[in-house]
Chain A
Amino acid sequence: MPEGDVAIRIGGAAGDGVTSTGEVYAIACARSGLHVTTYESYQSVIRGGHVWFQIRAANEKRYSQGDTFQLLIGLDQQTLDVHAPLLSAPGGVIHDNDRHDLDEGILPEGVQSLPVPAQAISMDVSGKPLMQNVATLGALAHHVGLDLKVLHGSLAKMFGRKGEEIVKLNETVAERGYRHAAKQHKPFEFALRPNGEGRLLMSGHESLCLGALAGGVKLVAQYPMTPASGIMHWMAAHAKDYGVLVKQTEDELAAMNLVIGANFAGARAMTATSGGGYALMVEATGLAGMTETPAVIVEAQRVGPSTGLPTKTEQGDLQMVFGASQGDFPRIILAPRSPEECYEAAWRAFNLAESYQCPVFILTDLYLGEMWRTVEPPDFQVPIIRGLVAEDGGEGYRRYEITESGVSPRAFPGQAGLMFIAGSDEHDEKGELISDIRAGLPEYVDTRTRMMEKRMRKLETALNEMKPPELWGPEDADLTIVSWGSTQAAVRDALEILKGTGITANSLEFFDLWPLRVDEARRALEAASETLMVEGNYTGQFHRLLRAETGIALGHALRKYDGEPFYPREIVAKAEEVLRGR
């Protein structure tokens, strides 16, 4: 890795404190003014198993977790055996040699053993072995050159709710680890420049929750499912202070229908789930489409099919979300690329849902949703656009009035003189059914056609609010790397690496996926000399959509479906392969 760019990895069994250790370190780096990106690999077990957490800190903005790591904290034997050979020099392994044996023969050249008597320190300070991970954290802080005071502050943030005494003990343990390391080895010359100008550290889903609050969310209905549960947890913890009603429902069928009911009554409501849960929401997605009721759905993708790999990431649900539910109806799909864009997608989703009276999806994934990154402070003054609403007592009100834009005025229960029935059956402008005794009568055949066309016109109107793909990097390039959503992270870092290889590449990034700005997409693809589509699924779901809509076949594809996020080097290698073959 270049100067001023260091990744560390912490590994252990679930229950060893891997996550909290990593979180404190990430907070300390963010508070030091460094740019932080993270990736945690965890398993679907509560205790035991193997967890590892990679945290990358850099002087300049980075997007992905990075390809290499220089320091390893091994909290168990498995971590030492599995991860130590993967380290990059210069670097080292922080471990407790009273508890585990590090086979120095497996260490790459320039990587050293950095033992810390972590358990002994924890026992000595607190009488318990529980804080051994904090002792290793102290050692880590020394090796990367973090200020001990910043580490103390980060421990206080993490453990503050457990009381001052616990915080004090943690600080003492960390300091002992730090001093031990200082005697043993001088800090590595990583050239990190902590500047004390603290940065905000958050996950994509936390950022999404902030965006939803800014956008006026009033109700969140959800059924637990990794990796979407964090949204419910965060919202529940903030529900009282921010006036949000959080309802854990009996299943996802209920969650989606409840959100539709709440939106029908006039409250901004959303749900969040993963692919398996969304499968249950499919039937009600069409209900929102037919009754023209707004609904915001966060679909946080994980590995499918079926239960798949619950704690692993993928971009495999686009096709399901795109085609979910019988018949044609307008839907909007946003696929934020970064935590910052999760924020924006959330408040935009409510505006779009109410403006166009249709389901709006925010397609995230485990990688984007759960991994912490430093972000720029969000702007809390966001526009709130509620769309067309009828005035009380309007004569001859027609809820589904045929208009040029396709958008008809809504009315909310409680408004005088506007009573109507929202129906899942086909209906006329007033909302009266044409599905039973009117079906097939010539007059109503025509009504069906006109109602269908009215609804579908909303998509054309909404297109004006959709954003075209962004071209990042030089306009003229040997290679245009095409991606959507969270894959931006690895692609952008790959571009940095490619700069040093003599290949000029740029990145064409899609984030407002539907309705698609086809003209801009086509122009961008036509301007590219060679294209490489990078996405996290087997069949190339976006690749096919892009070809269907633009008529342009992309040159090459890099697809991944092993559950792991893309790493920049994988994209670099593919780019080199593509251009070598030219």
Chain B
Amino acid sequence: MAVEVHVIKSDTKPTWCPGCGDFGILNATLKAVQATQLDPKDLVVVSGIGCSSNLPHFLRSYGFHGIHGRVMPVATGIRLANPDLTVIATGGDGDGYGIGLGHFIHAMRRNFDLTYIVMNNEIYGLTTGQASPTSEKGMVTKSTPWGSIEWPVNPIALALSAGASYISRGFSGDPKQMATLIEGGLRHKGFALVDVFSPCVTYNKVNTYPFFRERVYKLEDEDHDTSDLLAAYEKAHEWGERIPIGLFYRVDKATYEEEEPALSRGPLVKQPLGLSQEQAEALIQEFR
């Protein structure tokens, strides 16, 4: 049975501002899910808090819309309980690279098999326009009226250091490429990051659609070797006149779920509950 986009798209209308980059991400996500022919009952979309974290409501799958910054541990808990499920984690740059940064790094080094889509608009939108961890140095926001004096987080370089096994960046202005990147993440076995430039048309007057359109270029057009870690690092640090989008790095390595002994018998949710008589007797012996 083919799964069509209309089957996985819910009736709930997005509440994003007209022109918000997140629309492109929603469409790309729907396309990617359709391309993988995932049954929506086996998909869980997990998010945190922020404009972008409303995304699970726009899909007709299982979803968990949690609290600010804790996407990763909730998504991890779902994966560990039942690795038969496909998990998409999502949220914004404040959620993932600010309050949730610690969880993000640890989830990558553990190489959980999930796809993390970050709608990165370099600003706090829902709280009406404060600096975010990816805001550029010098950016004027409500919380930095004389310009931010911090250097931004570089999510791609961070992911390369932390051990994610699929590291990519998309742009809402190019939903086709983004759908391909998300699909690649879903098919990839291990932690897949899809960082997406998703312009905030209301609060970010710097990193706009035209800003990115003038600068982005596709890595696949420039013969980039996605198995070359050092080349990926170099690309991760390109910023200014030319900004790369596409797949930076991909490597095959064992996932946490594959190496976890308790999962060798199958998903936890399918194991019997309680103790057998033999197990109980063996346990009692330990205390004699």
Residues of A within 8 A of B (CB): 30-31, 198, 200-202, 206, 210, 213-216, 218-219, 221, 238-247, 249-251, 253-269, 283-284, 286-287, 291, 377, 380, 382, 384, 412-425, 432-433, 436-437
Contact = CB atoms under 8 A, between A and B. Distances in A.
Contacts of B78: 261-262, 264-265, 413
Q: In this complex, which of A247, A254, A266 has the most chain B Cβ atoms within 10 angstroms of its Cβ?
A: A254
A137 to B, nearest CB: 19
Interface stretch (B24-32, B200-208, B265-273): B265-273
Interface string B1-17: 00000000000100100
Contact of B274 (A216, A251, A262, A424): A216
Interface string B72-91: 11111111111011000000
A176 B79 CA distance: 57
15 contacts: A218-B269, A239-B261, A247-B76, A250-B102, A257-B74, A259-B77, A260-B66, A261-B77, A262-B268, A264-B74, A264-B77, A380-B274, A414-B41, A425-B65, A433-B57
Given A414-B82, A417-B41, A425-B65, 17 more contacts: A216-B273, A218-B81, A219-B77, A219-B262, A253-B70, A254-B73, A260-B74, A261-B76, A261-B81, A267-B82, A267-B269, A283-B67, A284-B67, A380-B275, A413-B43, A420-B63, A433-B65
Contacts of B77: 219, 221, 257-265, 269
Contact of B268 (A218, A238, A264): A218
Nearest to A239: B262
Contacts of B44: 265, 413
B66 A414 contact: no
Contacts of A380: 274-275, 277, 280
A557 B274 CA distance: 42
Contact of A243 (B41, B63, B73, B262): B262
B79 to A, nearest CB: 8
Interface residues of B, number: 57
Q: In this complex, which of B74, B102, B279 has the most chain A Cβ atoms within 10 angstroms of its Cβ?
A: B74
A419 B60 contact: yes
A422 B81 contact: no
Given A242-B279, A257-B73, A414-B41, A215 B260 contact: no
A258 B80 contact: yes
A419 B61 contact: yes
Contacts of B263: 245
Contacts, number: 200
B103 A254 contact: yes
A219 B263 CA distance: 11
Nearest to B43: A413
B103 A250 contact: yes
Contacts of B61: 419
Contact of B269 (A244, A266, A416, A425): A266
Contacts of B284: 200, 377
Contact of A254 (B12, B60, B72, B279): B72
Contacts of A433: 54, 57, 65
B287 A384 contact: no
A289 B167 CA distance: 35
Contacts of A421: 56-57, 62-65
A403 B154 CA distance: 49
A424 B91 CA distance: 14
A264 B63 CA distance: 10
A219 B80 contact: yes
Nearest to B274: A216
Nearest to B56: A421
Contacts of A265: 44, 77-78, 81-82, 85, 269
A419 B260 contact: no
B268 A258 contact: no
Q: In this complex, which of A246, A255, A286, A419 has the most chain B Cβ atoms within 10 angstroms of its Cβ?
A: A419
A177 B67 CA distance: 62
Contacts of B260: 245
Contacts of B79: 261
B186 interface: no
A260 B40 CA distance: 21
Nearest to B263: A245
A240 B279 CA distance: 12
A414 B37 CA distance: 15
Contact of B82 (A243, A384, A413, A418): A413
A250 B288 CA distance: 36
Contacts of B40: 419
B283 interface: yes
Contacts of B139: none
A212 to B, nearest CB: 10
B66 A257 contact: yes
B131 to A, nearest CB: 23
